Chain A
Amino acid sequence: MSPFQLPESDLSRARDEAATCIGVDELGPNLHLLTLEAATASRAALPGEFAQLQVEPGPLLRRPFSFCDLDPGRGTVSFYLRVYGEGTRRLAHLTPGSTVRLLGPLGRGFSLPETRASSLLVAGGVGAAPFPHLATQLLARGERVHWLNGAAGSDQLFPLRRMPGGLAGSVQVTDDGSSGRRGLVTDALPELLGGVDRVYACGPNPMLQAVSEMAARLRPEALVEVSIEAPMGCGFGTCLGCSIPLRFRGAPVPGLCCRQGPVLGADQVDWEALRRQPAHLE
């Protein structure tokens, strides 16, 4: 067994920098957009990559967050986060001027198409996090970008106004029908898959499995990439906490969410085994 046959993240770009809080916008109940001044990361992070944030005083281990949006001109980065425990609570209550250690960029992000393509971005809840940056990059390359955004209720939908302009289409769904259509993202997915070359998805692991299976069935020619969750300790491959079940040439192989992921091809994930795993550090 050679342990890692799948490509790994490039750790040589990761830097541990002192980031300064610019502000925190409350976007919904327990949902916040944290903006930090972090000049190095703002120029380096690719869509789907993440940072490990540490706030003091706070939990011992850092917490991983996908880069939501970047402004290299101003040297800022933003993170969309849901308050889940002590670490996220402290991040959501940061005051402007306070500092946070930011280690990143880490992980493997989304692959960008080599040729002109039509992409569908599928978000579930706080899983919208990596898509403003991804959409910006895709649009800058002249791609057609469709946006499918789902959440439990209207107040938990990532606001459309936070996405870049120029989207080819946007559909919103909520579990309770309080905004957009009533239902799950998979209810709206079939009609949006026509003509799509790429599907990018981020949300709860069961949603990602459902999207992957539906896309494989209805649009087998599309490339499907998912950003998955696992309880993460270090973020760069040494603690071995974020073990995830992967497949390589059809055979099961162990992987680490922080090195082979968090973005993986849908066919690289052993979905049935992943279902049995927790998504968050406890």
Chain B
Amino acid sequence: MVIGRGLTLESPVGAASGTFGYGFEAERMGNLAGLGAIFTKGTTIEPRPGNAPPRIAEVPAGMLNSIGLQNPGVEVVATEYAPRWRGWAAKVIVNVAGSTIEDYVRVCRRLDRVPEVAGIELNISCPNIAHGLDLGVDPRAAAACTRAVRAVTEKAVIVKLTPNVTDIAEIGRAVQDGGADAVSAVNTYLGMKWSRARGKPVLPGTGTAGLSGPAIKPLAMAAVARLVAALTIPVIGIGGIASTDDARDFLELGARAIQIGTANFYLPGLAASCAAELRQDGGAA
């Protein structure tokens, strides 16, 4: 399926950022077969150590995470990781995160020179790092970030949207106008788990974290429906997909492709089997 700007996926099934590392664990475990795309861990200009534990908590039909963008930095990704992606059938799309628009521009400018990088997914919506500028909730800031990145790369640019806004379609239209080739939706919902034993949230800091897993699928489908109706660029559906039927739901709704996220943690073979089953559907993708 065509995502845009020369990016075509062999399968509509992708693995979501933050649930698949940079693909090497799945490669070792034999779980890459048939995937259309891998969306890497959020990558920043400098290495980041991530947040202090605990970083994850379990909630009904889902989990909370507050990893804090642990990643080795774009230089390691470009020079050490990218060569290892050569020969993979799955397209590797690097998820890019930052604190300022200039951060995003610097990372994307570096990635633009890396042939193994098939595209860029802009993470303007990570709920787990504190910074003054929350690009993903302000249509003008979201558009400005997209436009700034668009100016420094020829690669396909997919903007990953946060659902923690009043009108996700407004943000979607803004990044479409800013030059995005596609949007992916949704990132995690803001959530919290309380520890009555300790009289405070389970996760540290403010206690808020990103909620993912089957719990969010109905919410994500509603968000994707609004985006499909509002946009002309492709929408990549994400949110609680834990079976091939879940993936079919998003595709029938109008998503061009889908990403499997949290389920990769407890069903590591799901993405590959989902890709194989959708291929058998023929046409459904």
Interface-side segment among B3-11, B50-58, B247-255: B50-58
Nearest CB of B to A183, in Å: 29
What residues of chain B lie closer than 8 Å to A62, measured between beta carbons? 266
CB atoms of B65 and A236 under 8 A apart? no
Interface-side segment among A28-36, A53-61, A193-201: A53-61
Instruction: Indicate whether B218 reaches chain A with its CB closer than 8 angstroms.
Output: no
Nearest CB of A to B28, in Å: 4
Instruction: Indicate whether B49 reaches chain A with its CB closer than 8 angstroms.
Output: yes
What residues of chain B lie closer than 8 Å to A14, measured between beta carbons? 29
Instruction: Indicate whether B73 reaches chain A with its CB closer than 8 angstroms.
Output: yes
CB atoms of A282 and B25 under 8 A apart? no
CB atoms of A234 and B266 under 8 A apart? yes
Per the 8 Å Cβ criterion, residues 43-98 of B in contact with A are 47, 49-50, 52-58, 61-63, 65, 67, 70, 72-73, 76, 80
Query: Within the complex, which residue of B53, B73, B80, B214 is in contact with A278, where a contact is CB–CB below 8 Å?
Result: B53
If A60-B63, A60-B213, A61-B63 touch, whether A238 touches B21 (CB-CB below 8 Å) is yes
Per the 8 Å Cβ criterion, residues 45-88 of A in contact with B are 52, 54, 59-62
Query: Within the complex, which residue of A10, A11, A12, A254 is in contact with B70, where a contact is CB–CB below 8 Å?
Result: A254
* Beta-carbon nearest neighbor of A103 in chain B: B268
Per the 8 Å Cβ criterion, residues 145-171 of A in contact with B are none
* Beta-carbon nearest neighbor of B55 in chain A: A241
Query: Within the complex, which residue of A236, A254, A281 is in contact with B50, where a contact is CB–CB below 8 Å?
Result: A254
Nearest CB of B to A16, in Å: 6
* Beta-carbon nearest neighbor of B71 in chain A: A3
CB atoms of B25 and A281 under 8 A apart? no
CB atoms of A239 and B19 under 8 A apart? yes
CB atoms of B76 and A2 under 8 A apart? yes
Most chain-B Cβ atoms within 10 A of its Cβ — which of A231, A239, A277, A281? A239
Query: Within the complex, which residue of B29, B56, B61, B67 is in contact with A236, where a contact is CB–CB below 8 Å?
Result: B29
CB atoms of B25 and A243 under 8 A apart? no
CB atoms of B53 and A243 under 8 A apart? yes
A16 and B266 CA atoms in complex are apart in Å by: 10
* Beta-carbon nearest neighbor of A230 in chain B: B53
Per the 8 Å Cβ criterion, residues 3-42 of B in contact with A are 19-21, 25-26, 28-30, 41
CB atoms of B58 and A61 under 8 A apart? yes
CB atoms of A60 and B268 under 8 A apart? no
Instruction: Indicate whether A233 reaches chain B with its CB closer than 8 angstroms.
Output: yes
CB atoms of A277 and B53 under 8 A apart? yes
A11 and B24 CA atoms in complex are apart in Å by: 10
If A12-B28, A60-B63 touch, whether A243 touches B55 (CB-CB below 8 Å) is yes
CB atoms of B265 and A239 under 8 A apart? yes
* Beta-carbon nearest neighbor of A273 in chain B: B52
Per the 8 Å Cβ criterion, residues 216-262 of B in contact with A are 262
CB atoms of B70 and A243 under 8 A apart? yes
Q: How many residues of A contact B (CB 8 A)?
A: 34
Instruction: Indicate whether A262 reaches chain B with its CB closer than 8 angstroms.
Output: no
CB atoms of B28 and A11 under 8 A apart? yes
A277 and B202 CA atoms in complex are apart in Å by: 12
Most chain-B Cβ atoms within 10 A of its Cβ — which of A10, A11, A103? A11
If A2-B72, A60-B214 touch, whether A233 touches B265 (CB-CB below 8 Å) is yes
A16 and B28 CA atoms in complex are apart in Å by: 13
CB atoms of B268 and A16 under 8 A apart? yes
CB atoms of B54 and A277 under 8 A apart? yes
A221 and B67 CA atoms in complex are apart in Å by: 38
Query: Within the complex, which residue of B29, B53, B202 is in contact with A11, where a contact is CB–CB below 8 Å?
Result: B29
Most chain-B Cβ atoms within 10 A of its Cβ — which of A16, A237, A241, A281? A241
Instruction: Indicate whether B269 reaches chain A with its CB closer than 8 angstroms.
Output: yes
Nearest CB of B to A52, in Å: 8
What residues of chain A lie closer than 8 Å to B76, measured between beta carbons? 1-3
A175 and B65 CA atoms in complex are apart in Å by: 37
CB atoms of A240 and B70 under 8 A apart? yes
Per the 8 Å Cβ criterion, residues 1-39 of A in contact with B are 1-3, 10-12, 14, 16
Nearest CB of B to A251, in Å: 13
A14 and B28 CA atoms in complex are apart in Å by: 9
A47 and B195 CA atoms in complex are apart in Å by: 35
* Beta-carbon nearest neighbor of B264 in chain A: A238
What residues of chain A lie closer than 8 Å to B268, measured between beta carbons? 16, 103, 234, 236
CB atoms of A281 and B57 under 8 A apart? yes
Q: Can you give 24 contacting A-B residue pairs, CB < 8 Å?
A: A1-B47, A1-B72, A1-B73, A2-B72, A2-B80, A3-B47, A3-B76, A52-B266, A59-B58, A60-B58, A103-B268, A231-B54, A233-B63, A234-B264, A238-B21, A239-B65, A239-B67, A242-B53, A254-B50, A254-B70, A277-B52, A281-B56, A281-B57, A282-B54
A-B complex: 5 closest residue pairs judged by Cβ atoms: A241-B56, A11-B28, A234-B265, A1-B47, A238-B21
Further 17 A-B residue pairs, CB within 8 A, beyond A238-B26, A282-B58? A14-B29, A16-B269, A61-B266, A103-B268, A230-B53, A233-B56, A234-B268, A238-B19, A238-B20, A240-B41, A240-B67, A240-B70, A242-B53, A243-B53, A254-B49, A277-B53, A281-B57
